[in-house]
């Protein structure tokens, strides 16, 4: 099951339900079709037993978010920067 929230996880809307025998499938959904996007968006993935106690397995692969606007992305801190790796394992001098 895949749920989204636009208020930091207080309320959830289901966007995808998967049966116990569903094959591996790529799924795409548009947030605006389910709720109004906010700066408090959250996604959760739920896997659970549907019958007697057994092993529960679930996997998420290649999760991505697209079509962000400039107001959705926070600029990095001016103090953020990349530092060289020390010691450099490829240059032992």
Tell me if residue 7 falls in helix, strand or coil: coil
Domain boundaries, the chain: 1-73
pLDDT in tens, 8-47: 999 999 998 887 777 778 888 888 899 998 989 999 988 8
CA atoms within 13 A on the CB side of 91: 4
- pLDDT value for 56: 75
| pLDDT at residue 93, as a whole number | 63
Q: Between the CA of residue 4 and those of 33, 44, 47, 54, what are the distances in Å?
A: 11, 6, 15, 27
Tell me which residue of 29, 7, 5 sits closest to 16, measured CA to CA.
29
Token code pair at residue 7: 């208020």
pLDDT at position 72 over 60: no
pTM given for the model = 0.62
């Amino acid at each position: 099951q895949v749920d989204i929230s636009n208020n930091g996880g207080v309320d959830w809307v289901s966007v995808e339900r998967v049966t116990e025998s569903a094959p591996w499938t790529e799924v795409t959904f548009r947030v605006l079709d389910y709720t109004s996007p906010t700066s408090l968006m959250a996604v959760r993935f739920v896997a659970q037993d549907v019958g007697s106690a057994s092993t529960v397995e679930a996997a998420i692969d290649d999760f991505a978010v697209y079509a962000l606007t400039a107001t959705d992305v926070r600029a990095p801190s001016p103090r953020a920067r990349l530092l060289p790796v020390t010691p450099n394992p490829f240059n032992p001098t």
